[in-house]
Amino acid sequence: MRRSSPPSRERRFVDSNVFLYVLMADPRYGPRARERLKEAGLVTSTLALSQVLAHLDRRRAWSAIPTFLAFLRDKPIEVIETGLEDFEEALREAERLGLSLSVWDDLVLAVQMRRIGVEEVLSNDRDFDLIPWVRRVF
């Protein structure tokens, strides 16, 4: 297991759905997501970015891909790498917490958050509520 950083209330992890609300111009959540993405201290991971890109591809929203990548280049959002250790730790946590692997991606993101000392996730995904060290805000 990797060392975890001390918890930080100054940084928040961005889940893929927040990016997608903006990119897909969601009428209900898009404006709120756009405002949240203006905050300082945001961090996400290569797994979350891959989720966004896969969703855009599935929806054939290919024109949004360059927009998304340009946003990431221009906005100071820290992007952490997803590694094999994150997947292994997520599997251990699923067993320890008695969670179904149906929450797999969120659990991987949660162990990444813990690794870098981030407790809050910007997300509308209630699966994060099953993970005790994560506080979901949106």
User: Nearest to residue 7, comparing CAs of 138, 137, 108, 134?
Assistant: 134
What's the pLDDT tens digit per position in 67-91? 999 999 998 899 999 999 999 999 9
Instruction: Please report which helix (H) or strand (E) contains residue 78, including its range.
Output: strand 78-80
Q: Tell me the pLDDT of the chain (138 aa) as tens digits.
A: 444 544 446 899 999 999 999 999 999 999 999 999 999 999 999 999 999 999 999 999 999 999 999 999 998 899 999 999 999 999 999 999 999 999 999 999 999 999 999 999 999 999 999 999 999 999
Cα separation, 18 vs 67, whole angstroms: 15
